Structure 1
Amino acid sequence: MPTVQLQVLDLGAGTGLGTRGAAALGHTVIAVDSSEDMLSVLQMENEELPSSVSARISTVVGSAEHLPLEARSVDAIMCLQAWHWVNPALAILECDRVLRPQGMMGLAWHTWDRSNEWVQALAAIVEPDGMPADQTQSVPRELAGRGSFERKHFPFSYDMTVEQLLGLASSWSFVTERPDHDDVLARIHHLGSRAALAKTGLLSFPHITAAFRLNRSTEDPVTASKPL
């Protein structure tokens, strides 16, 4: 249990993985998502939690551009693997509105660990035009000037079978929308078979979570005249 209990907005909460994590730490969490289906899954998952944790979670249908919250009502905002879906110019205005002065904001994305040799080979298969821009290299420009940012990387790996890798690759739009997607999947299968451990049949897909934390400046962005 934290020494300070925060009122936290989980923006783009989805099925609530981050929501449950924050609530388990003792914070009160408002999960906001535009998908009622996603929030229904979150609510079902919450039923499996201890009552002391689930009682700290509430869900609201809404969007980053139109947050159904009162002004200055939250101490912290977290947006996990979701900021790239929002209209940033509108979303930051709403975040400014609901966040209390000197409140915190955290953003995080998962990205492949491209230092790994087989991940580099996978990227060569699925990214024929080269590596796309890495959104985790800097904070969104709309947030510039709103305080100081800390950035940390957290490595982790998914252990999966080759078939699970194929299922994952089949969900990537940049694979499914290619006219040669069958050939691409066949090449991924071949690569995965070579990378998998003979003893277990599993391969390790290394990732990095790039996390940013904004500590708000003392100047209130809602009343400040500084343009976006």
Structure 2
Amino acid sequence: MAYSSGINNAFLHGYVEEDIFMLPQDGAPIQSGKVCKLKRSLYGLKQASRQWNQELTSKLLAYGFSQSQHEHCLFIKQSAAGILILLVYVDDVLLTGPSEVEIAEVKHFLDSKFTIKDLGPAHYFLGLEITCTAGTSITQHKYARDIIQDSGLTTCKPASAPLLMGVKLSNHHTDPLSDPGSYRRLVGRLLYLNFTRSDISFDVQQLSQFVHQPAQAHIDATVHLVRCLKGISDQGLFFPYF
């Protein structure tokens, strides 16, 4: 079972390393002509996210976690009960392990250092929908439905195959799109959908080759792929329990 938590006012926990000054708010009891020197980060500072990450990492390492050298947002802790795994994305935390007691201890530790919002068993994390019944199912059903709706294809007939049969895409089309940004945004959303939809990975990879100068044929193929999703938007990954 994985558990989800959110850290309140995350960026305010980081300490600034540079000398940064700010004008006081109107009405603050500060002598005229004086300024404030920041001790901690504020939202809007360019280094706020980095300082927060350093502060969180230092606390987790001190608690006994090891940081993955391949994925820096992944932390692992070996204990007598097994392995605790903590995944963090900015201020969202996903925690899993074999011991409910140790998971509760980690959450208590984080709450004592930063104040967290305990969201209980994870059901939704960064657009991923998680259910645990005879195994763990991870889908992006809502995310896929949002793509379909935003593309204006809610009432369309689902396509039976991802890409149009017999269509060969290339860089030699002579009808470039007047708004290439719309194509790039749609392909970008489909790339994120790849997390749980390996069945469309090849097609999305093909479409992503033309984001520099997309043509009408490319957007037509992309819309066709979205039509295909309409009939299978609830599919995803399933990891059975053994």
Establish whether TM, by shorter chain, passes 0.5.
Answer: no
> Where is the strand percentage greater, Structure 1 or Structure 2?
1
Name the larger-Rg structure: 2
Scaled by the length of structure 1, the TM-score of the pair is: 0.29
